[in-house]
Amino acid sequence: DADVTQTPRNRITKTGKRIMLECSQTKGHDRMYWYRQDPGLGLRLIYYSFDVKDINKGEISDGYSVSRQAQAKFSLSLESAIPNQTALYFCATSEGSGTSGRFVSETQYFGPGTRLLVL
Amino acid sequence: AQTVTQSQPEMSVQEAETVTLSCTYDTSESDYYLFWYKQPPSRQMILVIRQEAYKQQNATENRFSVNFQKAAKSFSLKISDSQLGDAAMYFCAYRSRYSGAGSYQLTFGKGTKLSVIP
């Protein structure tokens, strides 16, 4: 079974609609992330969460919101979708620094991605 | 802010041959991580290899190895004995090792598309 799952895998929606993308993980990691991938631009961070009560904006958070329902679940919402939000969306997880102090010693593991098309 | 540059949008290699993908980065930090991720047509982002900047020894994972030149801020990926399954987009990524605002972000290059010729 996959450690990081995303639903749906593909979605077509219309401008102005609200849409939610969901991410679940069985890795037991504390930290979760949402990235967006556009052709020719690589991946860019939308939001990240260190635990259920700690959510932070990333590089491109405008037009998005998130919810950390549990340690294992992190959802991304587009309140009113627009065509330039058409992209591939990835969820990622990482273990966290634990007792590493100020150093962050982790690797991010990605889900399979959700392809979103906004018409 | 950190930047990651992959100057080769596309590359090709004959099956069983060796290929090197280039990556350069810009940072003012002294301690950080560098990664190579592979994205096959299935879209999955798969970690290939990771390098800690404080380690002088180049990381190796089976047929994959890196040439890490810290002073030159260069981090190339060498794939030996290339296989058809190696065909994919390859992304170089940077991440700070220090905690603090923005440090958790992976900064990605734009990717290199690798084709493997049978």
Residue A10 neighbours by CB distance under 10 Å = 9
- Residues of chain A whose beta carbon is less than 8 angstroms from a beta carbon of chain B are 31, 33, 35, 40-45, 48, 58-59, 88, 90, 92, 94, 97, 101-105, 107-110, 112-113, 115
Q: What is the pLDDT of residue A100?
A: 46
Quick: pLDDT tens for B11-69.
999 999 999 999 999 999 888 999 999 999 888 899 999 999 988 899 999 999 999 99
pLDDT tens digits, A10-59:
999 999 999 999 999 998 888 899 999 998 778 999 999 988 888 999 98
Q: Would you state the pLDDT for residue B101? A: 58
Average pLDDT value for residue range B82-104: 85
Q: What does DSSP assign to residue B59?
A: P
Cα–Cα dist A46/A91, whole Å: 10
Per-residue pLDDT reduced to its tens digit, A62-111: 999 999 999 999 999 999 999 999 999 999 998 865 544 445 556 888 99
Give residue A14's Cα distance to chain centre. Answer: 21
CA distances from B68 to A89, B36, B48 (A): 30, 12, 15
What DSSP string runs through A18-53? -EEEEEEE-S--SEEEEEEEETTTEEEEEEEEEETT
d(CA B6, CA B23): 5
> Burial level of A106, CB count in 10 A (0-12/13-18/19+)?
buried
